[in-house]
Structure 1
Amino acid sequence: MHRDDEVWRDTDLTQPYDAVVIGSGAGGAPLALRLGQRGLRVLVVEQGDFLRVERGGAGTPPGKFIAEVMGRRDASIRVVGGRTESTAPRSTGCARATSARSSTRLASRPPGRSPMTKLEPYYEQAERLYRVHGAPDGDPSEPPRANPYPHPPLPHGPFVADVVRRLERTGTRTAAIPNGLDYGPGGKCVLCSTCDAHYCTLDAKMDAETASMRPALATGNVHLATQTECLRLLTDGDRATGVLLRRHGVEHVVRADVVAVCGGLPGSAMLLRQSRTARHPEGLGNAQGVLGRYLAGHSVGMIFPFVSWKTLPAVYTKTFAINEFYDGAPDWPYPTGVVQIAGQMPFWKETSRLVRPVAKLIGTHSLMCFYMTEALPTREAGLAFDGDRLGGRVEPVHNLQTLARLRGLAVDAFRRAGYPSLARKRAPYLWHEVGTVRFGADPATSVLDPDCQVHGIKGLYVVDASTLPSAGAVNTALTIIALALRAGDHIAGQAAARPVAAGRVEHVDAEPAVMLQAPH
């Protein structure tokens, strides 16, 4: 069961804060943690509440399928920790390949031009904080690293290990999927089958609440207001001054020199739009018409290799990927993407009654895998505003030729290993959306500067998936976490250099804090 929030509900909204963080997900929680470690007084505003998912009786699985908890898998998730509460652990502790080395190649940008090149030490900090298990072996796309992963790769289950052996024997290299789990001596993870797209009742997944929000609150400098909505960001010309909040029907103005928006897509872009002023009539950071633009993400298809005539045992499966096609293949000189095994999930429960028996037969006798390449950002793709509301959106263009080639490479790899596969041709899914409030050096093509501060408005930051200029072809969460930690150090450094206002007392460390570890 997740922590009860009664202790945090009475957070005082009448006090001034050094920083206000809107959202407690992959960007907001680690940002608040770092600011709290550096001595800033921080208010975290969360529209939702703590998630409470009770485990059943003895013998029941630890995980609860997201569709059963929320009604449907694509439901709006407004809880402390955001979407990290239900995503697969790879989406929390994941590969660094969205760094400049791979995202710029897939996006056909000049190498070395991305702010992500400065993220290496923060990736390492994020991996420690989120207890990432992994190894670079077998992954030619892995960027250089100063130190090994903090924890060894997760072990393959017996039948997954056999699949890996047969793939390797037939010439296909595999790599360990980096996973953020509390696994190992004294850890809570039991490597169950109810992990991917499930809520964990053991607190064994390193989601943003477990790995960042709880340690942040433990600093004593971070305060959390749940069931609280941010109505507007307040500015005075070219500087942030605070936020207008509403909690239980009562509006509050909270003053702060730093405001960080971490509301995800489309929340962050919409809040910047809804906070427009006479000086910023089209929205904060939208002087060049970039706000809401450059939506990108991942083009995704599914493959089901049949691995057993018997029903598969209920074990953890998300332990290997095929990354050797990331930069291309012998007969395909262009970057493609990755192939990953997914966890076991009862996806057939979301199908129609007519299709459900066939879907369950497939799901219980095959591995669920997905192949993923990048849906590139363009100025045309993004959100359409209708006043202060979302009027629609234009999807990024999928590179169908590259996706089809990656599908063929994956099917062939499993076939050579002795596993016939079902890989239905269909329109790709769009996963791991990024952009709409992206950073960059040029205000004509970005909303934020390389430190994630809104161009032209001091003290206003955005740190979440909408910040990323592109998605590469692997999961994006670790990059968001690393950006949040880096932004936290930048903000704390700026605060240390700022004169102290009359009547305010600031205690800001001059050096980056040592990362706190989330408690078991």
Structure 2
Amino acid sequence: MDSYTAQTGETLRSVAYRMRLDIQKLLSLNPHIPNPDTYIAGQTVNLVRMIHIPIAAPQPPETDLKQWIPLTSLEEMSQTEYDVLIVGAGAGGPAVLWRLCQQWGLNGKRIGIVERGDLLIPTHSMNIPTLNASRKRDFYKNISYPLGKSQPEYPGASQVFALGGKTLFWSTASPRMHPADFNEWPISYEELTPYYNIAERVMNISKGYTQDSTITTMMLEILRGSGFPEITELPTAIDLTATKFGQVHSNALFSSIAFLGSALNQRPFDLAVNARAVQILSENGNATGLRVMSPDKKSYVIKAKTIVVSASTWETPRLLLSSGIPGKAIGHYLMNHSKIVATVKIDRSYFPEVLGTLFIWKPRTLIEPYQMILYGPDLERYLWYPVFENKEVLKEFDIGIETLGVVEPQFENYIALNHASVDAYGVPDIQVRFSYSEKDKAIIGKMLQATNHMVASLLGTIGAKNRQPELSFYVPGEDYHEMGSYRMGNDPSTSATNPYGRIHGISNLYVADNSVIPYSGAANPTLTTVALAIRTTDHIIHQLSK
């Protein structure tokens, strides 16, 4: 009660006595009653001091932000000349953006990035509470573009047109390429090592995801004693830091959206989605800008001093070929990994109650040009799953084995334009030519032997009885590791860019995606693509500082 209306016969002193209040305090709260012994019937007695504070009005928004990342219209971008303009937001493009923002800070230079797709999800799909492994798989299949349906020689190909691209769905497997792979590169392993270090740090890559897991520990022991001494925990791009002290770590599995978030908190940049790049504009050996189209087919020209194309192994040569950029090697030397997949049924009784997670890796060696990845339990079902999903107690469970082999670069494997068929924006569709060489087939034979050896080792120790393993060879493209169609090198007759990703013959046009990788190796390519993109960015920064 903040106040009281005095009754007949009451004084301020009697009110204080009855309510057990200090009379001096009551006098200070009621300066309109100077005498504590005067009758005050009908007067208001203040019991609590009134504190007068300003009324807080609802605060209006400071910007017109209506989505989870600030966007810039193509009309506005067409009125700006950018110091660097990036085309594509898969793995490479956002890595370039992040490095520019980190190195430049608030120096006044203008950075723009355009993405063909729309905003899909703001993080890796497995960071989303409503998706588990099976829903994530269906989600990917339903939103991706099935390029392979029109490519009989590369039927497994698919594309994701969205901010973040395939990094929204990738496995997070992040091994480095073997030093021996760099014998076929124009740069050495030692030259790329500092950029591997940077990429691993910013992507939170470690072997900690399955470390000390019961199933991982037991499987490593079994396989190391069965002829696979190199096998170890798989490096993965997963943030294992706990959320505390106000710092939120909700994006456990890495996607390139994390690059965008880090860049955004270092300096402003302009981003447009649903922006279809249709032509690189060039004049006298220099790129001058980019022609893009909106979904309503309105055309815009964005000017830039330097352009970095990171549109993917498929879309980068498509854009540059349709723009008339010259080069004998453009679109050629397409590679993927050959891939054998086995599924082995494991007897749960061999393991203690707490099973844990399996994600281990046998790297390639000098004499074994393939890597092997084991994952489970129950394939991807419990490799990662939402915390509130009920984990079924299994009597048996499946372990997946993926064996990825080196595929040599061949000029005869290529992406070309099909001028008889164009998309809605007038850009010619692509046509893929691909086949495995005799050397590739020999490696596939070795992969099969190694896979069968590993399967036999598991069946002979912890395998479920009377269960036959499943073994299959994936069609080209199903591994999603396409690369090489805009390969780097020193010779313009056998490469499309120089060792820094700069396109031969054009001083300010670069490529930073899987397509620049000149030799496939056996390792998953995303880490290497990011490391190369950061290296390319440092070169661009140096060139622009002259």
Q: Same fold (TM over 0.5)?
A: yes
Instruction: Point out the more displaced range, 395-404 or 453-462.
Output: 395-404
Question: Matched residues, percent identical?
Answer: 21
Alignment correspondent of 2:319: 271
The partner residue of 1:8 within 47, 64, 71 is 71
Q: CA deviation at 1:102?
A: 2.6
**What is the alpha-carbon distance in structure 2 between the residues aligned to residue 460 and residue 314 of structure 1?**
53
Q: Which amino acid counterpart does residue 386 of structure 1 have in structure 2?
A: N
Q: Which amino acid counterpart does residue 333 of structure 2 have in structure 1?
A: Y
CA contact (8 A) 1:297 1:470 kept: no
**Cα separation, partners in 2 of 1:248 and 1:89, compared to 1, 3 Å:** same
CA contact (8 A) 1:316 1:343 kept: no
Alignment correspondent of 1:125: 198
Alignment correspondent of 1:385: 417
Give the greater-gyration-radius structure (CA): 2
Q: CA deviation at 1:213?
A: 1.3
Matches within 5 A, 1:267-306: 267-276=315-324, 284-286=325-327, 289-306=328-345
Q: CA deviation at 1:291?
A: 1.0
CA contact (8 A) 1:311 1:365 kept: no
Alignment correspondent of 1:400: 441
In structure 1, list runs of 5 or more residues that go unmatched. 135-151, 188-200, 277-283, 329-334, 349-361, 498-520
The partner residue of 2:138 within 67, 81, 95 is 67
Alignment correspondent of 1:372: 404
**What is the alpha-carbon distance in structure 2 between the residues aligned to residue 124 and residue 445 of structure 1?**
29
Alignment correspondent of 2:41: none
DSSP 3-state at the match of 1:368 = strand
Q: Which amino acid counterpart does residue 494 of structure 2 have in structure 1?
A: T
**What is the alpha-carbon distance in structure 1 between the residues aligned to residue 395 and residue 139 of structure 2?**
18
CA contact (8 A) 1:22 1:230 kept: yes
Alignment correspondent of 1:164: 220
Instruction: Point out the more displaced range, 76-85 or 162-171.
Output: 162-171
**What is the alpha-carbon distance in structure 2 between the residues aligned to residue 50 and residue 260 of structure 1?**
21
Q: CA deviation at 1:384?
A: 2.5
The partner residue of 1:256 within 279, 296, 304 is 304
1:95 aligns with 2:143: no
Alignment correspondent of 1:465: 514
CA contact (8 A) 2:377 2:397 kept: no
Alignment correspondent of 1:424: 471
**Cα separation, partners in 2 of 1:6 and 1:25, compared to 1, 3 Å:** closer
Root-mean-square deviation (CA, aligned residues, Å) is: 3.3
Q: Which amino acid counterpart does residue 452 of structure 2 have in structure 1?
A: V
Q: CA deviation at 1:172?
A: 2.7
Count of aligned pairs: 425
In structure 2, list runs of 5 or more residues that go unmatched. 1-65, 147-157, 382-393, 420-426
**Cα separation, partners in 2 of 1:180 and 1:53, compared to 1, 3 Å:** closer
Normalising by structure 1, what TM-score? 0.74
**What is the alpha-carbon distance in structure 2 between the residues aligned to residue 314 and residue 252 of structure 1?**
58
1:413 aligns with 2:454: yes
Alignment correspondent of 2:359: 319
Instruction: Point out the more displaced range, 265-274 or 160-169.
Output: 160-169
CA contact (8 A) 1:295 1:381 kept: yes
**What is the alpha-carbon distance in structure 1 between the residues aligned to residue 116 and residue 524 of structure 2?**
25
The partner residue of 1:245 within 289, 292, 308 is 292
Q: CA deviation at 1:489?
A: 0.8
**What is the alpha-carbon distance in structure 1 between the residues aligned to residue 170 and residue 535 of structure 2?**
23
Matches within 5 A, 1:194-273: 202-210=250-258, 212-249=259-296, 250-273=298-321
Q: CA deviation at 1:60?
A: 5.8
Q: CA deviation at 1:37?
A: 2.4
**What is the alpha-carbon distance in structure 1 between the residues aligned to residue 193 and residue 281 of structure 2?**
34
Alignment correspondent of 2:58: none
CA contact (8 A) 1:33 1:222 kept: no
**What is the alpha-carbon distance in structure 1 between the residues aligned to residue 242 and residue 299 of structure 2?**
47
Alignment correspondent of 2:528: 479
